[in-house]
């Protein structure tokens, strides 16, 4: 449990699993609602488990989701690909509600929810994080796609692919010109030179040589 008033950016452990479970339950309800509207369900709820890759920002949690009567079932997938015990989530939550209130395995949980592009932003126990619930095929595509917002462009250098930082060519406070080398990232035995798209000043460096970065990890920020 986190002390009150203490906020961390990336949820961990039990809190991460709880947020992933609630995000998946919300996604499942939204999916059922869509199918009811389109008339594809024919009055029958198909009770088959579906595997999902849940991203808390860029942290991935694998699980299976299904339905058991009024409850939504979640089974987390371990590193060996095996599904764990069933967790039961029950909530009267419906699309548009600002808070998911319900129980996970009988324990009361409340999570604030806000829709965002392709996902939901959830806040719980001092952690607020964007949550994306993908099918396995969607996750494979999403891993290749940089996730940026319009407000980010030009202010940050993000890692374009999973790779190893070979070198950072600039320092904090340095003025740079368009085309200047900022960093070199090695991926699949190829070195990729990342260059400045415009003139600017380096505000903060977030990565160092030797670091292994995920796609879209922050390398440095511009002033």
Give the DSSP letter string of 17-54.
HHHHHHHHHHHHHHHHHHHHHHT-STT------EEEEE
pLDDT tens digits, 148-183: 444 444 588 888 778 889 999 999 999 999 889 999
Residues 71 and 128 in one domain: yes
Q: Please identify, among 144, 173, 206, the residue that sits at the C-terminal boundary of a domain.
A: 144
Instruction: Give the rounded percent of residues in the chain with a pLDDT score beyond 90.
Output: 46
Q: Are residues 62 and 132 in the same domain?
A: yes
Find out whether 11 and 129 touch, Cβ atoms under 8 Å.
yes
**Residue at a domain's end among 144, 176, 211:** 144
CATH number at residue 181: 2.40.50.100
With cut-offs at 50, 70 and 90, classify the pLDDT of residue 110: very high
pTM of the model: 0.59
Longest dimension (CA), the chain: 63
Residue whose pair of structure tokens reads 């996730």 in the numeric block:
147
**Structural domains in the chain (count):** 2
Q: Where are the alpha helices (DSSP H) in 39-135?
A: none
Pick 190 or 207 by higher pLDDT. 207
At 99, the pLDDT band (50, 70, 90 cuts) reads very high
- Do residue 116 and residue 162 come from a single domain? no
Tokens 């080398």 appear where? 181
Joined tokens for residue 106? 């009988």
Question: What are the distances in angstroms from CA 49 to CA 82, 180, 182, 188?
Answer: 14, 50, 46, 35
- Structure confidence at residue 6 (pLDDT): 39
Shared domain for 76 and 165, answered yes or no, is: no
Q: Which residues contact 32 (CB under 8 A, 6 or more apart)?
A: 41, 45
Same domain for 19 and 123?
Answer: yes
Domain extent, residue 120, equals 13-144
């Amino acid at each position: 449990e986190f002390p009150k008033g203490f906020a961390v950016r990336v949820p961990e452990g039990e809190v991460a699993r709880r947020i992933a479970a609630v995000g998946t339950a919300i996604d499942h309800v939204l999916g059922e609602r869509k199918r009811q509207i389109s008339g594809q369900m024919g009055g029958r709820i198909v009770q088959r488990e579906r595997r999902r890759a849940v991203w808390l920002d860029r942290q991935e949690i694998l699980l299976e989701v299904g339905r058991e009567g009024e409850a939504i079932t979640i089974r987390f997938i371990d590193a060996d690909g095996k599904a764990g015990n069933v967790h039961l989530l029950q909530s009267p939550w419906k699309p548009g509600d600002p808070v998911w209130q319900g129980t996970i395995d009988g324990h009361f949980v409340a999570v604030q929810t806000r829709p965002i592009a392709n996902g939901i932003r959830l806040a719980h126990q001092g952690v607020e994080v964007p949550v994306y619930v993908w099918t396995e095929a969607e996750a494979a595509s999403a891993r290749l796609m940089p996730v940026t917002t319009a407000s980010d462009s030009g202010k940050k250098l993000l890692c374009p692919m999973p790779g190893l930082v070979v070198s950072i060519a600039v320092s904090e406070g340095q003025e740079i010109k368009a085309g200047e080398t900022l960093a070199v990232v090695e991926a699949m035995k190829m070195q990729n030179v990342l260059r400045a798209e415009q003139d600017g000043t380096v505000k903060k460096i977030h990565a160092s040589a030797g670091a292994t970065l995920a796609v879209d990890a922050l390398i440095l920020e511009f002033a």
